[in-house]
Amino acid sequence: MLSLKEKDKPIIKKLLSAGCCARCVLRFCCVSVQAAYRRPHQETLKELQAFIKSTEENNKSHDAAGSEPPDDPPSKRAKLEPIVAGAPSEEDSAAGVRLKDEESSVCVVCLGILQELCGTTQAVKMADAVKAEKYEFDTLVLSVSLPAQLCSVRLCEHVEKSAAVDKEDFIQVKEAFKWILQGLVSKELGGIAVVTRSLFEVGVEFTHPETDVDCHFLTTMNCLFLCRQSVFTRMAVVKALEKISEAKFLKHYPCPPVKPTSSCSSQDVQCLHVSIFVAGRYNKFCRNLPQTPWLIDGERRMESSVEELIAAPILSSFRADGFNFSSSGREDVDVRTLGNGRPFAMELLNPHRSRLSKVEMKQLQETINASSDKIRVRDLQIVTREAMSRMKEGEEEKTKSYTALIWTLKPIERDDITFIDDIKDLTLDQKTPLRVLHRRALAVRQRVIHSMNARFLDSHHFYLGLKTQAGTYIKEFVHGDFGRTKPNLCELLKTDTDILELDVESVDVDWPPSIPE
């Protein structure tokens, strides 16, 4: 039995006469019992008709009782018409025709979505799409995208006035659709729980070409932001309608709306798993490998990159559609990354597999390391989105250590470089280097070299060890970058210097957590 009240009867009658389906009537009557929407809509319509009819019959009986004298005997000359048992009256026949018409007509509010488009057929279609994609998941959430023109059906304002209720209390089409479908989809997927929040989303989009032009009048009513959009999005229509008075609206849009001749069309089912994040640390052992694909004027300059060597096995294992790669800083193509490596993280987009055991992650790490001798990965693990902020903090706030092979123009002796060991917390003013000016804004950045040490090789070469603030341009400190970095090593040694080799020895970011070998 539907949880309807006596005050709902005039509303129900008005909605049914306007062309609303049974489930939309329940929505406007603020029926929040989910089971009521899961009943076949034909049964609900019959019950609503009976609910109205009972009121009308009671009113007729009451009127008849009040108009006839209680003691007036029937006329002897009145001829009784023969009554055929089981034959329907004209009134019942008319009611049956109306019921049949209302069952077959398309709802003016939901455009058929809550009629024939939310049953077993739709559930099977959604379940088949999930099975075909071979996702691994424990729960799922349903989503539905409705035609933007549904927003312009303003029956709710009239119901709101009649029933003295807030339209915020009305049940939304999306909610009713989910209430009906969630049990059916769960059954088709073998009992998988359909919940309100999940990492895995199964969505369906509805379109209604017949009424696509219904929102176009908004472009003529000072809703200029719509004119700049190529499509009428649902949110854009909602915002536009908030600015329009009911009187202006009714000049352009009939209420109740014209009854549609066709239902909405269900588009392809879309499955989407939220991103997962894989982190680790990498070493780079060669001097001709960029961190990311190196493209100049659309032409590839290197056959591979650190990103690609790491990403390919990970994408395959998680069966993801794509990825975003990030790291705590980056090294130049000719710079090695040694020591405990550089922290990196990958966002895996729409992974079809979201969990790997520790053993499987270890095997994945070994697969990456066996694929190339140019890189090595360690501490590979799944992390949360929030934990990735730890890596980004290290880009500017932490320290990094380097070893550089230095060449000097003038011959040097061992004693000429010993003073370098005593330099502490040297502050540099570094104007954006010429070599990165095409991708970084022109600015002067202060960076600190916390300590240095020099190791003599020969009269023109020595090794320089540095511990610096993250973000320091080491090459520019060595050769001066035409005076754009001050002070620089040329000034300190009073001779031209250049850098022949550079290695990153450590990136002092305590993330991700170390995993014992």
Residues known to be catalytic: 332
Give CA–CA dist 287/451, Å, rounded. 25
End-to-end CA distance of the chain: 65
Per-residue 3-state assignment (H helix, E strand, C coil) for 316-361? HHHCCCEEEEEECCCCCCCCEEEEEEEEEEEEEECCCCCCCCHHHH
Q: Which two tokens stand for residue 212?
A: 């696509």
The helix (H) or strand (E) run that includes residue 323 is strand 322-327
Contact between 109 and 153 (Cβ < 8 Å): yes
Question: Which residues touch 510 (CB under 8 Å, ≥6 apart)?
Answer: 390
Give CA–CA dist 360/208, Å, rounded. 47
Q: Please state, as a whole number, how many other Cβ atoms lie within 10 Å of the Cβ of residue 496.
A: 13
Give CA–CA dist 470/436, Å, rounded. 17
Give CA–CA dist 104/101, Å, rounded. 5
DSSP label at residue 288: S
Q: How much is the CA Rg of the chain, to the nearest whole Å?
A: 37
Contact between 215 and 233 (Cβ < 8 Å): no
DSSP label at residue 118: S
Q: Taking Cα atoms as reference points, which of 207, 20, 198, 44 lies closest to residue 117?
A: 207
Q: Taking Cα atoms as reference points, which of 506, 508, 482 lies closest to residue 496?
A: 482
Question: Which residues touch 96 (CB under 8 Å, ≥6 apart)?
Answer: 88
Give CA–CA dist 188/149, Å, rounded. 31
Rounded to 10°, the helix 306-318/358-371 angle is 140
Q: Quick one: CA torsion of 4, 5, 11, 12, rounded to 10 degrees?
A: 40
Contact between 491 and 428 (Cβ < 8 Å): no
